[in-house]
Structure 1
Amino acid sequence: MAKTILKSVLHQGNLCDILISNKRFAKIGGLTPKDFEKAKVVDCSGLAILPPFYNGHCHAAMTLLRGYADDMPLQEWLQNHIWPFEGKMKPKDIEIGSRLAVLEMIKSGTVFFADMYWHREQTMKVVKEMGIRATIGVTFAEGLVSEEAIDANFKFVQDHRFESDRVKLAVMPHSPYMVGEKLFKRCVKVARQEEMILHTHLAETKKEVLDCKKANGCTPVELMDRYGVLGGDFVAAHCVHLSKSDMELMADSSSAIILNPCSNLKLNSGIPKIPQLLDAGILLGIGTDGASSNNNLDMHEDMKFAALLAKASGRADTLPADEVLKMASFNTAVAYGVEGGLVKEGFLADAILVDLKNERLNPCHNLVSNWVYGADSSAIHSVICNGEFVMENRHVDGEEDIVREAELCAKRLA
């Protein structure tokens, strides 16, 4: 059994040795000479261990559209720019864009992402090769694909194609405005038969809410309740425009919400009511959305924005540093059924190592506060996923080739 020992690492204010065995944190402190036998020992002097990020909502291959169309409303952005560009993308382009996305996520401390996009086989391949985790969506959107393609999507789900211990499938109807009642209910039925996560965009804009009320006589959340979607396996992205009763429905059903504050601000979609969502007791995670609307996949930025926006509409003590870090790590892991997000015995061995000499972590009165409010990805020294280093001393294998190939691909598509 492969073992790794992180020697002399700072954990919760104390220097200790940490044993990783069987892809999990086996011991934190109290190691014996027997634990060191046949173990790979990594000197972590000057480094602290923290939970990594779990990106609860993104569109990975959209890294190829970074900066392609900016500074315009959501519907104009989608219909006149993004969708025409995406129509030219082939499976190999999805692979190239996803590889760039995973590189960016690793270098900014993310070890898991939930992806809603097309040609999911390509993204699954990249995730497996680059060593992190993902929940990859089988995406449904009426009007964009044929009935035959929809049936093929359900077959893909039911066969659990290309899944592994690090890569899982989820059923992802795009949104209530792109998936009708019949197909949405079919998605719910199949997801629950296969014990998979259900994920969709929900109440992202005021227009979406107004259109839903006009067409259905209810809010998007109420529509999801009507369709039987809400539940502990349902994860909704955005949820910017929720009423008090919407929040109660989400909380009472144990549904989860993934906040995407940077994307929402950039697209002028609105500001999520974070204090009220917290008060309602809803499980809240954080995501980046796509790199074409953020314009990066750096979870640290979305974590800090979530904390600041919560304070702006709440109080100075709303969503403190330790809680927003938990939201960006443990909460999102819980939403997707991943036993990670905490550096704790028995949990999956996912972590980041930060450089305590980094200027943004000094002086270090409080490491977590420094990490949330003061630092950025430049402080990350190494990244561990599933007990393996996916970035060591700020380097990811093949990163130069990944960037070069993505640059050439984007120029060809533009």
Structure 2
Amino acid sequence: MNSILIKKVTLNGTECDILISGTKIEKIAPDIDFAADRIIDGRGKSIIPGFVNMHTHSAMTLMRGIGEDMHLMEWLEEKIWPVEKRLDDEMIYWGTKLACLEMVKSGTTTFNDQYWRIPAAVKAVKEAGLRSVQPYVILDLMDKSRSEEIKRECNEMYELSKEWGDMNRFAVGIHSPYSVSEEMIVWASNFARERGLLVHLHLSETEGENIRSVEQHGLTPTEYLEKLGVLGPEVIAAHCLWMSDNDISILARHNVKVVHNINSNLKIASGYKFRYNEFRDAGVTVTLGTDGCASSNNLDMIETMKISALVQKAWRDDPTSMPLDELMKLATLNGAKALGIDSGVIEEGKLADISLINTNIFEFTPNINFLANLIYSANSSCVDTVICNGKIVMENRVVSGEREIIDNVNRLYKKLL
């Protein structure tokens, strides 16, 4: 069994040694005497759990900068959806490789994806050594003639996913209540429940979505999904910006997990008054995501934490909103729980999904409050070393194959324009 011993690293303000055996953290102690396969000098570094990016579209790294300064539906219909028709397996593979590179270099070890041509993405994720959840995306745009084709493809991908291994899990992606027919929403939900799969969807991202839902169904999108019987603990709902008290109560009652994606919400002007306090107080598990690079332009969870907190404090006129300890859990432990992964905290017996943060830099000087420095002062360049599932995927900010990934994306993206 492979082992890694991290010597004299700082954990929650205390210097210690941490032994990783196989895929898990085996021992945390002041001084560990063990002949490990690898020894890492942890002096000048702090250890944190790997971030869990709960909502992204990984290969959209290929579209970074496409369709700037546009409204959401205009952006989707005139830029993104036409470009996506030109995607092929090679593009998805290298686009996902670039996403994994960016996530590793910013401390993310797990991500909840939602994109096309899944086998090409899974190949890229496996090579990067990260964890991912890969949903088959159901998006019929109310065209019922595609129903049987979608059902067949979803089932085929589910069967194929049995060969992926433990690091990549299959899920069902219902794009949104406004883009998927009622029949397909119900079918997808039943398909997932019968197989114990997660469901990943967009919900109440814009005010217009809510208005149209009330006009069409007499219900908010959340009320509509409840009426269809598709809400449950397996559902991960991204955005959830335009939520009434009743919507929040419904999500809490059904134990739906929520993903806040502040950067894309701000950039596309979808909204900014995410009701974090109300979700939290209702018992809803809240997590964080970056969304895709076409709408948020990066996959940096440290930036996501900072902007999430600053906006909460500003619109509530309350500097105590989204405090540091809660903020860190949103980016780590809550996401791990939502995905059913035994990580998100540095403890013995937990999966070794961790990052070492270089604190011997000006952003951490003085290091009076580590979390404040990490979130409000530093940026992702402070992430020095990343370990996922007990294997080193970046050390001293070096990721194998980085130049090749960048060169291939620069070669391929021009085919999309």
Normalising by structure 1, what TM-score? Answer: 0.97
Residue number among 87, 90, 104 corresponding to 1:89 in the alignment:
87
How many positions carry a matched residue from both structures? 412
Q: Does 2:273 match 1:275?
A: no
The code of the aligned residue for 2:184 comes to: L
| Residue equivalent to 2:96 | 98
| Residue equivalent to 2:133 | 135
Deviation per CA, 1:63-121, whole angstroms, max 9, x where unpaired?
Answer: 11100111010000000011111111111111111111110111111111111111011
| Residue equivalent to 1:19 | 19
Deviation per CA, 1:218-243, whole angstroms, max 9, x where unpaired?
Answer: 01111111122222111100001000
Structure 2 contact 19–32 (Cα < 8 Å) conserved: no
Q: Does 2:369 match 1:366?
A: yes
| Residue equivalent to 1:338 | 341
| Residue equivalent to 1:412 | 415
Structure 2 contact 44–358 (Cα < 8 Å) conserved: yes
Residue number among 304, 307, 315 corresponding to 1:305 in the alignment:
307
Aligned counterparts of 2:202 and 2:404: Cα–Cα separation in 1: 33
Residue number among 388, 392, 395 corresponding to 2:395 in the alignment:
392
Work out the percentage of aligned pairs sharing the same amino acid.
38
Aligned counterparts of 1:283 and 1:328: Cα–Cα separation in 2: 12
Aligned counterparts of 1:119 and 1:31: Cα–Cα separation in 2: 47
The code of the aligned residue for 1:279 comes to: D
Aligned counterparts of 1:105 and 1:159: Cα–Cα separation in 2: 26
| Residue equivalent to 2:164 | 163
SS at match of 2:308: helix
Q: Which stretch shows the higher mean deviation, 375-384 or 258-267?
A: 375-384
Aligned counterparts of 2:163 and 2:226: Cα–Cα separation in 1: 31
The code of the aligned residue for 1:151 comes to: R
Q: State the Cα distance separating 1:39 from its structure 2 match.
A: 3.8
Aligned counterparts of 2:329 and 2:350: Cα–Cα separation in 1: 14
Q: Does 2:8 match 1:8?
A: yes
Deviation per CA, 1:17-49, whole angstroms, max 9, x where unpaired?
Answer: 10111311111115554xx13542222111110
Q: State the Cα distance separating 1:216 from its structure 2 match.
A: 0.9
Q: Which stretch shows the higher mean deviation, 15-24 or 259-268?
A: 15-24
Q: State the Cα distance separating 1:254 from its structure 2 match.
A: 1.0
Aligned counterparts of 2:281 and 2:32: Cα–Cα separation in 1: 45
Structure 1 contact 349–385 (Cα < 8 Å) conserved: yes
Q: Which stretch shows the higher mean deviation, 140-149 or 329-338?
A: 140-149
SS at match of 1:390: strand
| Residue equivalent to 2:52 | 54
Structure 1 contact 121–162 (Cα < 8 Å) conserved: no
| Residue equivalent to 2:354 | 351
Q: Which stretch shows the higher mean deviation, 21-30 or 1-10?
A: 21-30
Runs of 4+ aligned residues of structure 1 deviating over 4 Å after TM superposition are none
| Residue equivalent to 2:254 | 253
Q: Which stretch shows the higher mean deviation, 128-137 or 227-236?
A: 227-236
Q: Which stretch shows the higher mean deviation, 140-149 or 344-353?
A: 140-149
Aligned counterparts of 1:298 and 1:188: Cα–Cα separation in 2: 31
Aligned counterparts of 2:29 and 2:289: Cα–Cα separation in 1: 32
Unmatched 5+ residue regions in structure 1? Answer: none
Aligned counterparts of 1:410 and 1:39: Cα–Cα separation in 2: 41
The code of the aligned residue for 1:37 comes to: A
Aligned counterparts of 1:58 and 1:356: Cα–Cα separation in 2: 28
Aligned counterparts of 1:383 and 1:31: Cα–Cα separation in 2: 22
Aligned counterparts of 1:391 and 1:3: Cα–Cα separation in 2: 16
Structure 1 contact 158–194 (Cα < 8 Å) conserved: no
Structure 2 contact 114–173 (Cα < 8 Å) conserved: yes
Aligned counterparts of 1:155 and 1:39: Cα–Cα separation in 2: 41
The code of the aligned residue for 1:329 comes to: T
Structure 1 contact 275–313 (Cα < 8 Å) conserved: no
Q: State the Cα distance separating 1:357 from its structure 2 match.
A: 0.9
The code of the aligned residue for 1:280 comes to: A
| Residue equivalent to 1:65 | 63
Q: State the Cα distance separating 1:380 from its structure 2 match.
A: 1.0
| Residue equivalent to 1:376 | 379
Q: Which stretch shows the higher mean deviation, 371-380 or 238-247?
A: 371-380
The code of the aligned residue for 1:323 comes to: E
Deviation per CA, 1:313-370, whole angstroms, max 9, x where unpaired?
Answer: 3321111111101101111111111111111111110111011112111110011111
Q: Which stretch shows the higher mean deviation, 142-151 or 326-335?
A: 142-151
Aligned counterparts of 1:381 and 1:284: Cα–Cα separation in 2: 27
